Amino acid sequence: MRYLMALLLMSTFTFAKPPGEVIFQNSCERCHAEGSKKPLSYLRQKYRSNPQGIMELAKVCPWGKNLSDMEIELVSRWIAEGK
């Protein structure tokens, strides 16, 4: 677990992007790009300061199935809190 965290932190520095953003681009953007029915800007607005709401959905929706709990938490926080 620590190793994974270190890796995520490292990738943050390497790409100068929050890990949540990287996860979003890899796992979510193909369906939630700007111009789609529920783009990131919509999710941002609806879930502002409510990462918990996203995390719960991720566990019951097919789109969250390939992600670890930590990845879900990171991407949810990134959407809801911008970090």
Q: Where on the chain is the footprint of ligand HEC (CB under 6 A)? A: 27-28, 30-32, 37-38, 43, 46, 54, 57-58, 63-64, 67, 75
Question: Distance of alpha carbon 76 from its chain centroid, rounded?
Answer: 5
Return d(Cα 61, Cα 79) in angstroms, integer: 17
Is the CB of 2 or the CB of 35 nearer to ligand HEC? Answer: 35
Query: Rounded to the nearest whole angstrom, what is the least distance from the CB of residue 57 to ligand HEC in the complex?
Result: 5
Using the minimum distance from each CB to ligand HEC, give the nearer residue, 5 or 59: 59
Q: Which is closer to ligand HEC, CB of 2 or CB of 37? A: 37
Rounded to whole angstroms, the Cα distance separating 2 from 52 reads 23
CA-CA distance, 49 to 65, in Å (whole number)? 23
Minimum distance, C-beta of residue 16 to ligand HEC, in the bound complex (Å): 21
Q: Which amino acid, one-letter code, is at 4? A: L
